[in-house]
Structure 1
Amino acid sequence: MNDTPEITARSWLMILTLGLVWGGTFMFQSLALRTTPPFWVATARIGFAMVLTFLVWRWRGGRLFTTANTDYPRLIAVSVLSSAIPFMFLSWGQQYVTSAFAGVSMATVALFVLPLAHVLVPGERMTLRRSLGFVMGFAGVLILLGPEVFQSSGDDREVWGRLACFSAAFCYAISSIMIRRLPPIDPFGLTFATLGFGLLLVLPVATLAHGAPPNPGSQGLMILALLGLVPTAGANLLRILTIRSAGPVFMSLTNYLVPLFAVLLGATFLSEPLPNSLITAMALILCGVGLSQFGALRRLFAGRT
């Protein structure tokens, strides 16, 4: 794997797909929480996803590290920080915040990733243009996080719910850097491993917190399966491929798209209030994304893919 990220037209397509899929995740997770306790929602997501990725992994040969260089402690840490802990944080937090808030909070992953990558990842430098784009995108996020979106009810649980969502974003940022720094590893094996190790943590937590698994009914079970198979299994693999080819900073741009889709889907299907600041925030975020990746866009439109 090259240390310098390679950004192509395929990279842009992948982050757009991830933005849409993950933006819809919060809407479906809100629906799942109507029938299932939060930590069992996280367990079901990981469990369904793990079964699918295990089958795909075994079908492709069942290999994990592709060289003699292994790093299981880092792999376990990646697993905990990219699946178990953030899934539990988000499921618990969404009891008290809207799906739009949860989606918007994911944009803060970019804020955590940029300085970490600048220090830890070769080829990921905080240039002036990238910094200006970052500031512009952050301004859009602040507008999107305005009073129309976050009118507090005065309930402390809402405050803790917000903190849980931002804690999940911090976990994703750290795991993005750690995935990039893993030794050569099969992407399918990495996807299965992150879910498998994650399940070993979340399953006993769910049992201790909520007791035996509930019966969510056929519709609830279908929603849980959807959460596991699409945004968890499929999108997790796509996330890993994007990080290892285009780098964690480029991958973090997906988290600017996630809140936009989350707000729109929540307003359309869950009747969540649509903030008046959405259009302004969307323009700032997209302009910030374009400015921070101007070099990649120029190569893309010049046909250098």
Structure 2
Amino acid sequence: MRNPATAAFVSLGLIWGSNFIFMKWASETITAGQVTFLRVLFGFLPIVVYAAVRRVLERRHLRHVHHFFVMSVLATSVYYFAYAAGTALLPSGIAGALSGAIPLFSFVAAALFLRSERVTPTRLLGVLIGFGGVLLIARPWVADGDLDMTGVVCMLLGSASVGLSFVYAKRFLVGLDIPGAALTTYQIGLGLLTLAVVTDYDGITAIGEDPRALLALVLGLGLLGTGVAYILYYFIVDRLGAITASSATYIPPVVALAIGWLLVGEPLDVLDAAAVLLILVGVMVLRLGGRQAAPETLPDPADEAAP
């Protein structure tokens, strides 16, 4: 591709979509908590280097450290742990498909906690369609279904956590004149410190005995899936704008499902494909409703998500 921004856009969607098979492989060797810690550790390295090169880290930012800590819990520690735990219990493609619900949770949280967020009939329809897709994947009405409901709950908890983080950022961080690369560095850095304290390291060295899992975790989840992904995101925001950058979130559920089905041999039926389509249609309708609502000075939470 001749356009660097377009190439970055496609690459970001593919990287995010591949995160789930990498989590699956890593979780076969070590615990979800250990996967989360190592992912954040190796993801933090390129992020802090990028922020240092851009010279966006400033001492004055420390006055907002309490907000950075909340973001680290919502958008790093809980988010990544819940996804690692959920993916360990589910087929990687189904886990990736459920991640498509992040914008739905973002809007619900915004409607509950932000006075400026309008609940229009179009937006409500989008939420209902999207969550209809989630239900179609989970199928809780099937008593002895194939999916582990604990895994489904973990994925939805992770989606809800990061969805709430966008609303928190909109309420407390937007307008502080802090570059996104700096915010990400503080968020991931504090998340790393928290995880370093709470992680049980017993058996963590087992990851070195499985080359596939080690490569998936260090390169796939850490350096690429966390570090490079954030750098690509900010590059796209700078070149194409935040709304276009957020559209990359349509790609991961499809990529994750395709990888699980075509490359790993995970089962895929018509209902699973229809469910992913419903989620994506719901998100698109939700965003359409946001465009029709009265203009706001802050970005729509439904436009922001990252696996």
Global fold match (TM > 0.5): yes
With normalisation by structure 2, the TM-score equals 0.75
Tell whether 2:194 aligns with 1:214. Answer: no
Aligned to 1:115: 108
Deviation at 1:40, TM superposition (A): 1.7
Cα distance change of structure 1 residues 149 and 101 upon mapping to structure 2, 3 Å threshold:
farther
Q: Give me the whole-angstrom Cα distance separating, in 2, the residues matched to 1:56 and 1:275.
A: 42
Which amino acid counterpart does residue 50 of structure 1 have in structure 2?
Answer: F
Which amino acid counterpart does residue 63 of structure 1 have in structure 2?
Answer: L
Cα distance change of structure 1 residues 33 and 119 upon mapping to structure 2, 3 Å threshold:
closer
Aligned to 2:167: 177
Deviation at 1:78, TM superposition (A): 0.0
Gaps of 5+ in 2: 293-307
Q: Give me the whole-angstrom Cα distance separating, in 1, the residues matched to 2:6 and 2:291.
A: 9
Deviation at 1:46, TM superposition (A): 0.5
Aligned to 1:159: 149
Equivalent of 2:263 in 269, 284, 287: 269
Deviation string, structure 1 residues 178-237 (Cα, Å, up to 9, x no partner): 2223122122211211111111121232235x3554342443322112211122113335
Aligned to 2:226: 232
Secondary structure in structure 1 of the residue aligned to 2:89: coil
Deviation at 1:103, TM superposition (A): 1.6
Query: Which one has a larger percent helix, Structure 1 or Structure 2?
Result: 2
Secondary structure in structure 1 of the residue aligned to 2:196: helix
Q: Give me the whole-angstrom Cα distance separating, in 1, the residues matched to 2:117 and 2:231.
A: 22
Aligned to 1:291: 285
Cα distance change of structure 1 residues 164 and 282 upon mapping to structure 2, 3 Å threshold:
closer
Q: Give me the whole-angstrom Cα distance separating, in 2, the residues matched to 1:264 and 1:141.
A: 18
Q: Give me the whole-angstrom Cα distance separating, in 1, the residues matched to 2:10 and 2:291.
A: 14
Aligned to 2:55: 61
Deviation at 1:123, TM superposition (A): 5.7
Aligned to 1:301: none
Deviation at 1:49, TM superposition (A): 0.9
Cα distance change of structure 1 residues 216 and 190 upon mapping to structure 2, 3 Å threshold:
same
Aligned to 1:194: 187
Cα distance change of structure 1 residues 243 and 82 upon mapping to structure 2, 3 Å threshold:
farther
Deviation at 1:267, TM superposition (A): 0.9
Which amino acid counterpart does residue 201 of structure 1 have in structure 2?
Answer: T
User: In 1, are the aligned partners of 2:100 and 2:279 still within 8 Å (CA)?
Assistant: no
Cα distance change of structure 1 residues 88 and 69 upon mapping to structure 2, 3 Å threshold:
closer
Which amino acid counterpart does residue 216 of structure 1 have in structure 2?
Answer: G
Q: Give me the whole-angstrom Cα distance separating, in 1, the residues matched to 2:109 and 2:236.
A: 18
Which amino acid counterpart does residue 110 of structure 2 have in structure 1?
Answer: A
Deviation at 1:266, TM superposition (A): 0.8
Between the aligned residues of both structures, percent identity stands at: 26
Q: CA RMSD in A?
A: 3.8
Which amino acid counterpart does residue 22 of structure 2 have in structure 1?
Answer: F
Deviation at 1:159, TM superposition (A): 3.4
Deviation at 1:272, TM superposition (A): 0.7
Aligned length: 281
Deviation at 1:152, TM superposition (A): 3.5
Equivalent of 2:122 in 121, 124, 129: 129
Aligned to 2:254: 260
User: In 2, are the aligned partners of 1:90 and 1:164 still within 8 Å (CA)?
Assistant: yes
Gaps of 5+ in 1: 1-9, 299-305
Aligned to 1:78: 71
Deviation at 1:271, TM superposition (A): 0.8
Cα distance change of structure 1 residues 38 and 115 upon mapping to structure 2, 3 Å threshold:
closer
Deviation at 1:90, TM superposition (A): 2.0
Aligned pairs for 1:7-156 within 5 A: 18-64=12-58, 70-121=63-114, 124-146=117-139, 152=145
Deviating more after overlay: 287-296 vs 42-51: 287-296
User: In 2, are the aligned partners of 1:132 and 1:292 still within 8 Å (CA)?
Assistant: yes
With normalisation by structure 1, the TM-score equals 0.75
Which amino acid counterpart does residue 179 of structure 1 have in structure 2?
Answer: A
Which amino acid counterpart does residue 152 of structure 2 have in structure 1?
Answer: R
Q: Give me the whole-angstrom Cα distance separating, in 2, the residues matched to 1:16 and 1:148.
A: 37
Q: Give me the whole-angstrom Cα distance separating, in 2, the residues matched to 1:19 and 1:148.
A: 32
Cα distance change of structure 1 residues 114 and 187 upon mapping to structure 2, 3 Å threshold:
same
